[in-house]
Amino acid sequence: SAAEKGGYDYFMLKEIAEQPKAVADTLLGRIDPSGSLTLDEVRISPSELREIDKVVIVACGTAFHAGLIAKYAIEHWTRIPCEVELASEFRYRDPILDGRSLVIAISQSGETMDTLMALRHAREQGSKVLAICNTNGSTIPRESDAVLYTHAGPEVAVASTKAFLTQLVACYLVALYLGQVRGTKWGDEIQAVIKDLSRISEEVERVLETMEPVRALARTLAGKDTVLFLGRHVGYPVALEGALKLKELAYMHAEGFAAGELKHGPIALIEEDVPVVVVVPSPRGRSVLHDKIVSNIQEIRARGARTIVIAEEGDEAVVPYADHLIRIPATPTLLQPLVATVPLQVFACELATARGNEVDQPRNLAKSVTVE
Ligand code: AGP
C-alpha cells in the first residue's frame, strides 16, 4: 500500500532514501567514544583472529560486489590475503581452506542457497565462517560461527540498495576490526577512517539531495540499447553494481569494466553517442589512478561516447571531458563506494520508470533465491 511505501511510489525509492539512516544504524554501538571498534558480537576470539592467514569472501549478485570492495579494504588495512568468489562457483573448484581461513558470507536475506552451500563447504574444511547479514535468525547466520548484522531494516524491493550500503559498512568494520586486533602499520589511518565512517551517513544524505539532474538525465536515455560503466580500484565494483542495477531494473544491456581494461578490448564497443558512466577516483591520495581515468574519459569521448562522469567535488580536471557531471562528496578512497553507488541506484530506478517497468518486482527475479 501507499502507506507501507512511506509516501513514495516504490519501495525502492523509499529504501534509497533510507540509506543515511541504514548506514548510521549499522555503525551504531560499534564505535566506542575513544574511537575504537567494539565488535563483541563477532564471537571469534581476538587470538583466533590473529591466527587467520587468509580471508575468503563468498556471496552472490549485489552482495558479491560488496565483497569485491571489501577485498581492497581488508588487504590494505590488515595485509591478510583476501579472495572473493561467487558463492555459486566456490565449492565446485576444490578451494584451499583450513582452520586458519576466515570465510565471510555476505547475504541480505540470509537464505540464498548458493551462499549457504558455500559456507557449509567452508565449515566442513574446518574454516571459521562470519556472516554479514540483514535478516535476524535466518539460515546463513544460524549456520555460521559468528554474525555481524547489517541494520538496514527490511528491504522489500527486489533490487538491493540500502542493504548494499550497509554491507559495505559491515565489511569496512570487519576490515578495520581485523586491523585493530592484529595491529598494523596503518594504526593511525584506521583511527582516521573510523572518524570518517561516522560522518559518512551525512555525506550520503547530501548525495540524495542532489539527485534531480541524475533523474532528468536518466529520462533522456530511456531509448538507448546499451550503457557502459567504467571504474578503477574500488570504483570498478561500483561500475559492476551500476551495470547490474540497470540490467535488473531497466532490462537494458549494461556492462561494467575496469577502466584499465578498455584498451584490451571493450574500447571497441565505443561508438557515437553510447552512454558511458565513469566513476572517477579521488584526485587526492591515489592521484595516479585519477589521471589515468581522466585519459580514459578523453579517449572514449574522442570516439564519440556520451560521458557521464561521477567525480568528487572540486575535481576540476574532469570538467572539460564530461558531457554530464555528477558530483559526490570527497571521502577517503576506500569509502568512496558509499557515496558513488547512490547516483547509480537513482539512475537505474528512474530509467526503469521511464521505460515503463515494474520497479519493485522486476521480471524473472525473486528477492531471495533459495534454489541452487
Ligand atoms: C540485488 O539487486 C539482487 N536482487 C541480487 O543480486 C542479490 O544481491 C543476490 O541474489 C544475493 O542475495 P542475498 O544478499 O539475499 O544473499
Least confident of 124-128, 248-252, 364-368: 364-368
Active site residue 245: no
Handedness of CA 327, 151, 236, 53 (dihedral sign): positive
Q: Which one, of 22, 365, 14, 349, lies nearest residue 168 by Cα?
A: 22
pLDDT tens track for 137-151: 999 999 999 999 999
Q: Is 107 in the pocket of ligand 1 (CB under 6 A)?
A: yes
Q: Is 368 in the pocket of ligand 1 (CB under 6 A)?
A: yes
Protein residue with its CA nearest to atom 16 in ligand 1:
107
Q: To which residue does cell 548506514 refer?
A: 23
11, 15, 58, 60: residue to mutate for ligand 1 pocket, most atoms within 8 A of CB: 60
What SS3 class is residue 68? Answer: helix
pLDDT tens track for 101-116: 999 999 999 999 999 9
Protein residue with its CA nearest to atom 8 in ligand 1:
62
* Residue 168 exposure: Cα atoms within 13 Å on the Cβ side: 32
Q: Is 161 in the pocket of ligand 1 (CB under 6 A)?
A: no
11, 57, 62: residue to mutate for ligand 1 pocket, most atoms within 8 A of CB: 62
Task: Pull the grid cell for residue 113.
Answer: 542457497
What SS3 class is residue 59? Answer: strand
Which listed residue (54, 247, 292, 367) is catalytic? 367
What strands, in cross-sheet order, belong to the sheet with 146-149?
Answer: 82-86, 54-59, 101-107, 128-133, 146-149
For the question of an ipTM over 0.85, the answer is: yes
- For 49, 94, 128, the CA distances from 101, given in Å and listed in that order, are 10, 14, 7
> Taking all residues of the chain, what is their mean pLDDT, rounded to a whole number?
94
pLDDT tens track for 169-199: 999 999 999 988 888 777 788 888 888 999 9
What SS3 class is residue 274? Answer: coil
